[in-house]
Amino acid sequence: MSTLPRNPRRATFALALGLTLTALGVGATGAMAGSSSKAVYTLTNGAAGNAVQVFDRARDGSLTPDGTFDTGGDGTGAGLGNQGALALKHRRLFAVNAGSDSISAFKVKKGGLRLVDTVGSGGEQPISLTVHRRLLYVLNAGGVANIKGFKISRHGDLSRLAGSKRPLSAPAPGPAQVSFDPKGRTLVVTEKDTNLIDTYKVNRHTGRASGPNPQTSVGMTPFGFAFDPRGRLIVSEAFGGAVDKSAVSSYELEGGTIDPITASAATTETAACWIVVTKDGRFTYTTNTGSASISGYRIGHGGELELLDPDGVTGSTGPMPIDMALTRGSRFLYSLNSGDGTISGFRVGADGSLTPVGGSGGLPAGATGLAAR
């Protein structure tokens, strides 16, 4: 296992919407014993030592703090304007260390988390990562922005994939997220500052990405995104933080080309940024950072989007909600609220409605990323 020396860098990637993603309290502490097979994870992003904070999830969805586990790297202590700082796959959890240009791999155990590896990210200021089988790609937002691939060993160690580094559309386009499509054939990156969505074809034999293929977003400030089970792409659009102007769009993704299905379905709220899709593909939700709310949409058979609530408010959160996560079966939805250092919890109804359940508070400043099981 290799650990990089700490080298904090400036983090200036706020949303291009003029909102400062304030967040949440103090740096990491030593590990405590976690025990539940149902948990929620967030990243402290502490500049003097990054860590994963774990919350036990009760049967009713309520959360209890259950341990803090060092990543072996540093965060930035400030919001990253990103989605995907954590990636949870089966019994593996992966995290970015944006302040020390590294990524960390953990094994999820009954007693909590065990750090397996911390390696250089292949660029500056990693903010998002994605996993498909034993392949991981990370998005580096600083310096000359890029994506970089890694192989995951059967033990969870990470090794750089030679020849996998690819540029974005420009050196500093304000990227937000990288993710594989469900089949692992395409990588997608959103660029907030250029209003572009980049796609990369992934070689199924070597894992190397080719591209980018930059394409214009139908709405301004494309930010977070997720895929439905059929591989359709659903993207939030912050519209530069304009009051009550944010939206969500859906696209067909075929051969690296995106084709709009529903163009900019309005949330009626401000700064739609983070997004999730339920496991059955029936509903999608976006957090509205400027409105302290979540907007839900019904996803039609053809990928069409229909707002669940006429006023755009499917759920009310704490101030400045950012990241979201659904549990494995999509029974519960959680949002990370950067304005007051809390997590809001909701039970997801059969009709897509959201009913509040117990959350948690006292999160550290700059916390980023959310994952749940």
Q: Round to whole Å and give the CA distance between 333 and 92.
A: 21
With cut-offs at 50, 70 and 90, classify the pLDDT of residue 9.
very low
Fold topology of 134-372 = Methylamine Dehydrogenase; Chain H (2.130.10)
What is the average per-residue pLDDT within 281-290?
98
Question: Taking 50 as the threshold, does the pLDDT of residue 2 lie above it?
Answer: no
Q: Round to whole Å and give the CA distance between 167 and 265.
A: 30
Question: Taking 60 as the threshold, does the pLDDT of residue 362 lie above it?
Answer: yes
Q: Round to whole Å and give the CA distance between 157 and 154.
A: 8
Dig out the tokens for 90 from the structure: 């089966």
With cut-offs at 50, 70 and 90, classify the pLDDT of residue 350.
very high
What pLDDT was estimated at residue 68?
A: 96
With cut-offs at 50, 70 and 90, classify the pLDDT of residue 365.
confident
What pLDDT was estimated at residue 110?
A: 82
- Using alpha carbons, select from 67, 65, 83 the residue that is nearest to residue 359: 65
Dig out the tokens for 195 from the structure: 């209003």
Question: Taking 60 as the threshold, does the pLDDT of residue 12 lie above it?
Answer: no
Question: Taking 60 as the threshold, does the pLDDT of residue 103 lie above it?
Answer: yes
Contact (Cβ atoms closer than 8 angstroms) between residue 147 and residue 163? no
Q: Return mean pLDDT, the chain.
A: 91
> At 67, which amino acid appears?
G
Taking only the tens place, the pLDDT of each residue in 44-62 is: 999 999 999 999 999 999 9
Characterise 257 by phi-psi region: left (phi > 0), alpha (psi -120 to 50), beta (else): beta
- Using alpha carbons, select from 111, 41, 35, 101 the residue that is nearest to residue 74: 101
What pLDDT was estimated at residue 364?
A: 83
With cut-offs at 50, 70 and 90, classify the pLDDT of residue 267.
very high
What is the average per-residue pLDDT within 294-311?
98
Dig out the tokens for 165 from the structure: 């580094």
Is-cis flag, bond preceding 5, omega within 30?
no
Let me know the angle formed at the C-alpha of 112 by 109 and 117, rounded to the nearest 5 degrees. Answer: 75
In the chain, domain spans: 134-372
Taking only the tens place, the pLDDT of each residue in 135-167 is: 999 999 999 999 999 999 999 999 999 999 999
Alpha-carbon distances, residue 299 vs 304, 348, 354 (angstroms): 6, 15, 16
With cut-offs at 50, 70 and 90, classify the pLDDT of residue 4.
very low
Predicted model pTM = 0.90
What pLDDT was estimated at residue 36?
A: 53
**236 DSSP assignment:** E
Question: Taking 80 as the threshold, does the pLDDT of residue 63 lie above it?
Answer: yes
What is the average per-residue pLDDT within 192-212?
97
Question: Taking 90 as the threshold, does the pLDDT of residue 26 lie above it?
Answer: no
With cut-offs at 50, 70 and 90, classify the pLDDT of residue 21.
very low
| Helix (H), strand (E), coil (C) string for 332-352 | EEEEEECCCCEEEEEEECCCC
What is the average per-residue pLDDT within 77-84?
95
Q: Which residues contact 59 (CB under 8 A, 6 or more apart)?
A: none
Residue showing tokens 């909600």:
321
